[in-house]
Homo-oligomer: A and B are copies of this chain.
Amino acid sequence: MKVSMKSCWFWIGLIILACSGLRAGEVRQEVQFPNLPGYVTLACDLHMHTVFSDGVVWPTVRVNEGWRQGLDLISLSDHIEHLPHKKDMKIKLNRSFELASASAADHGLLIARGAEITRDTPPGHFNAIFTSDNEKLNVPDFVEAVKQANEQGAFVFWNHQGWKGSEKGKWLDVHTKIYENKWLHGMEVCNGDSYFPDAHRWCLEKNLTMLGNSDIHEPDLRQKSEPANHRTMTLVFSKERTLPAMKEALLQGRTAVWWKEQVIGKKEYLEPLFKESVHLLGEPVWREKAVWLQFENRSNVDLQLKKTAGDGPAEIKLPAISTSLVKIEATPEMKSLNLQYTVANFIIEPEKGLPVAFEVNKKTATAKTAENTEP
């Protein structure tokens, strides 16, 4: 075929026009965390808003955002009491869920009906998820609203504790009351860009479920969930990918929070999550003065390991979804390595990372979580 230089670009243009007229389809990229033994690791965001309360997007937008960013479950928790758009909208409290449901089904995205019980501080704001009729939560008394939610079988948690007002973030009698009635199941340890150490501590002390949510009001511009740019979300260790299984896992507290560069959760879940995430690949290469190790990180987090004892460099960085080559200084007579580290961004208590250890000898390399290496 002869194509003169001068004309061919116009032909390309023409042909591209003739072939186009097609929209790029919707594309999803998974949130990448390994499953735990016995559980699938799923991602959810249970706190977001639409035009039906004080958000600025139509409910279906939240489905598109959540699906493309790799979430498995969302809930549109529009406020019951705070309705700044009511001059322009005919608001019903179940409507955002209804509008989003068909789209969620098309996407294979789980969606739970939910609402935000939005009273002054104290007592603060609370989300009720897995409700059956949000209108019934629209009652004058706060405790009555929480009770109503529980009668519908809802999962209830305290939002952004530590936020706003002179009584902000205090644990008061009203909290004790709903907690003792088992009407309060969890707390947001993280909400958007904020972290609440008190909520973190209380979740550990009172055995409440740890949650991290976006509380997004604006459109979410992210195409996918990246290590350095992702929404605050809750990882749920669920028996399967269904609404009832997710609810069971949430009520049982099988969660971790992915917030900025950190994963926050109970040691009993972060320990196996680390073990499933980090693997020594291939055979160590033993040289006279060094051993070369390859660590694979299968999680979506750039892991930061700080040395506590034993061999190895002061710090090891393991970027997300990649393999890192690490040089361990050694001597010719060494027969094995003992690496003791804290995973500084796998947080098991306020200000405390997960301790881990690796033992490597000239024949085999095994990874285990440290039991005796805590600082």
Contacts and interface: CB of A to CB of B under 8 A. Distances in A.
Given A58-B57, A322-B29, A344 B88 contact: no
A25 interface: yes
Contacts of A108: 281-283, 285, 294
A19 interface: yes
A308 interface: yes
Tell me the number of copies of this protein: 4
Interface string A189-232: 00001110100000000000000000000110111000000000
A365 interface: no
A279 interface: no
Secondary structure of the A contact surface, majority rule: mixed
B107 A315 contact: no
Contacts of A315: 5, 19, 22
A179 interface: no
A77 to B, nearest CB: 18
Interface string A20-56: 1111111111100000000000000000000110011
A265 to B, nearest CB: 16
Contacts of A327: 25
A19 B193 CA distance: 12
Nearest to A315: B22
Nearest to A241: B282
A244 interface: no
A107 B28 contact: no
A172 interface: no
A313 B325 CA distance: 44
Given A87-B90, A88-B95, 7 more contacts: A6-B375, A17-B195, A21-B193, A25-B326, A51-B58, A64-B218, A106-B287
Which 6 pairs show the lowest CB-CB distances between chains A and B?
A: A219-B219, A56-B58, A28-B323, A26-B325, A10-B351, A9-B344
6 contacts: A6-B306, A17-B195, A30-B323, A61-B219, A67-B325, A88-B95
